[in-house]
Amino acid sequence: MKPTLALRMGQQLAMTPQLQQAIRLLQLSTVDLEQEIQTMVTENPMLEYDGAEGPTFESLPTGEEESPQTGKENSERDVNIDADDHGIPEDLPVDSRWEDVYESSSAPSGPSEGWEQEDRNTYRETLSDHLLWQLNLTPMSDNDRLMATLIIDAIDDDGMLTTTPEDILESVREDLPETELDEVLAVLKLVQHFDPIGVGARDLRECLLIQLGALSADTPWRNEAIQLVDEHLASLGSHDYATLSGRLKLQEAQLADVVRLIQSLHPRPGATVNTEPEEFVVPDVIVRKVAGKRGARWVVELNADALPRIRLNEQYAELARSVTSASDATYLRDHLNEARWFLKSIQSRHDTLLKVATKIVEMQRGFFEYGEEAMKPMVLADIAAAVDMHESTISRVTSRKYMHTPRGVFELKYFFSSHVASSTGGEVSSTVIRALIKKLVADENARKPLSDSQLATMLAKQNIKVARRTVAKYRESLRIPPSNERKRIT
């Protein structure tokens, strides 16, 4: 086929750098956006932190009618960055402050005046560090110290020994040819009694026996617990309490006391040291219920304390007007335009987030009033159609964004769920099904836990048609073990 040239006309959306920036800021979490703002303030002399006080974002309370003026103001703030950027003001005066342009902007202070963020790079002690610190405080010979160091190096984060004493013996043969296996075992026993007790065990049985052996001899049911772990650990794991009662010659109440003592131990002792630092979520949106003349209403507003507040640097902005050098004028003008677009992009993000969060509260009002069992089925397309935005915008704005409500803090994506058809012809949210399963399991007889089939039957009585496999899937997502593992002694 002979190559030819042809002209073809078409239309496509041009992704300008400004539009790309707006989209990128929209999908950032609060923490990431804060870092982005800090970087921009550092690199762009046209921007600075502003600690002045100002009003907070507040949407129209859900369930009330808009006045013409309120509706006009809201429409001016709503921006669909997937389509165009006409919702952003075309011109931002160089000497403007944030609140002069955006009347309903949030007002958190800069990092020097607001909440102090903890250093995210704080050193965290590992299990190995904790054990080596104890080793350095323990008097022993150099040979024993070498073996103890090798043992500690072979302990994983759960506190279990990942090698054998024989392998450790082979490792020290070259430096300590006269070392015997009994010496390695003696050092291992010493390490196993470091804090946390039971660390360095070779299996679960040994780990529990070490902890039981360290208890006071007059601890109630200690001897029975040692016998159970030593001889019948498999029966305990399968919850075969009838067999255990017969073999240990214990009544049911006595066996329950023995099991409770074992359950107070740590099967993964290293986890008590290797704890990850708690991660605190900063909510982007706050939902609260307020009383009004026409009854209570839900109010949605952006968290004014979530982000530093920035503005144009008035001195540098004024300098951009009076500078005479062509190179300096270009430098200042480029940074001024960049600062303007950055402010507009942040405002676009705030407006879009507020608009979407308000619609979520409006559509899921039952959840806020009555809880999970009143959650409605909802997908991204439902919100996209309601706020006249693209689904990709809704996906970005709900990712890693959190809402503080009287019922707790939830990621915005939490309010979206699939649905299951009911026997009455309606639809039931998967969140509702999970909530019902959790409630049924919480109320079950611990001696005769409900099977997945029984749960499916009980849901069917509430007009919810779900198969046993579906119940199992929801149960596993809730981290609820199967019925045979939930069996307990009363």
Flag whether pLDDT at 25 surpasses 60: yes
Region of poorest pLDDT, from 148-157, 250-259, 459-468: 459-468
Between helix 165-172 and helix 142-153 the angle, nearest 10°, is: 130
Q: How far is CA 62 from CA 59, 364, 378, in A?
A: 8, 10, 17
d(CA 241, CA 161): 30
For the chain, percent of residues with pLDDT exceeding 90: 44
d(CA 105, CA 303): 11
Region of poorest pLDDT, from 82-86, 247-251, 339-343, 446-450: 82-86
More confident residue, 23 or 228: 228
d(CA 466, CA 296): 36
More confident residue, 171 or 488: 171
Report yes or no: 36 and 25 within 8 Å, Cβ to Cβ: yes
Query: What one-letter code names the amino acid at 305?
Result: D
Confidence band (pLDDT; 50, 70, 90) for 4? confident
Region of poorest pLDDT, from 125-129, 323-327, 364-368: 323-327
User: In this predicted structure, what is the pLDDT of residue 447?
Assistant: 84
pLDDT digits (tens, 9 = 90+) for 142-157: 999 999 999 999 999 9
d(CA 439, CA 273): 33
User: In this predicted structure, what is the pLDDT of residue 275?
Assistant: 62
**Dihedral (Cα; 80, 83, 85, 86), 10-degree rounding:** -90
HSE-CB of 216 using CA atoms within 13 angstroms? 3
d(CA 187, CA 165): 10
Q: What is the CA radius of gyration of the chain?
A: 32
User: In this predicted structure, what is the pLDDT of residue 116?
Assistant: 42
First to last CA, the chain: 83
3-state secondary structure the chain: CCCCCCCCCCCCCCCCHHHHHHHHHHCCCHHHHHHHHHHHHHHCCCEEECCCCCCCCCCCCECCCCCHHHHHHHHHHCCCCCCCCCCCCCCCCCCCCHHHHCCCCCCCCCCCCCCCCCCCCCCCCCHHHHHHHHHHCCCCCHHHHHHHHHHHHCECCCCEECCCHHHHHHHHCCCCCCCCHHHHHHHHHHHHCCCCCCCCECCHHHHHHHHHHCCCCCCCCHHHHHHHHHHHHHHHHCCCHHHHHHHHCCCHHHHHHHHHHHHCCCCCHHHHCCCCCCCCCCCCEEEEEECCCCCCEEEEEECCCCCCCEEECHHHHHHHHHCCCHHHHHHHHHHHHHHHHHHHHHHHHHHHHHHHHHHHHHHCHHHHHHCHHHCCCECHHHHHHHHCCCHHHHHHHHCCCEEEECCEEEEHHHHCECEEEECCCCEEEHHHHHHHHHHHHHCCCCCCCCCHHHHHHHHHCCCECCCHHHHHHHHHHCCCCCHHHHCCCC
Domains parsed from the chain with CATH numbers: 17-114+283-409 (no CATH), 127-272 (no CATH), 417-486 (1.10.10.60)
Question: Computed from CA positions of residues 257, 260, 262, 264, in that sequence, does the dihedral angle turn out positive or negative?
Answer: negative
pLDDT digits (tens, 9 = 90+) for 42-70: 999 888 987 644 333 333 344 333 333 33
**Residues in the chain, overall count:** 490
Question: Computed from CA positions of residues 283, 284, 289, 291, in that sequence, does the dihedral angle turn out positive or negative?
Answer: positive
For the chain, percent of residues with pLDDT exceeding 70: 81
Average pLDDT over residues 148-172: 94
d(CA 284, CA 304): 9
d(CA 455, CA 36): 48
d(CA 406, CA 58): 17
Report yes or no: 304 and 283 within 8 Å, Cβ to Cβ: no
pLDDT digits (tens, 9 = 90+) for 404-461: 999 999 999 999 987 776 766 677 888 888 999 999 999 999 888 999 999 999 998 8
On average, the pLDDT of the chain sits at: 81
User: In this predicted structure, what is the pLDDT of residue 101?
Assistant: 39
Flag whether pLDDT at 93 surpasses 80: no
More confident residue, 286 or 490: 286
**Nearest of 402, 380, 382, 403 to residue 393 by alpha carbon:** 380
Flag whether pLDDT at 170 surpasses 50: yes
Q: Is the previous residue joined to 377 through a cis bond, with omega within 30 degrees of 0? A: no
Q: How far is CA 162 from CA 10, 45, 323, 437, in A?
A: 64, 55, 69, 39
User: In this predicted structure, what is the pLDDT of residue 123?
Assistant: 56
User: In this predicted structure, what is the pLDDT of residue 117?
Assistant: 42
Between helix 380-387 and helix 326-363 the angle, nearest 10°, is: 110
Region of poorest pLDDT, from 14-23, 138-147, 287-296, 442-451: 14-23
Flag whether pLDDT at 343 surpasses 50: yes
**Nearest of 284, 445, 274 to residue 354 by alpha carbon:** 284
pLDDT digits (tens, 9 = 90+) for 180-216: 999 999 999 999 999 999 999 999 999 999 999 999 9
Phi/psi at 344 (nearest 5 deg)? -65, -40
Flag whether pLDDT at 107 surpasses 70: no
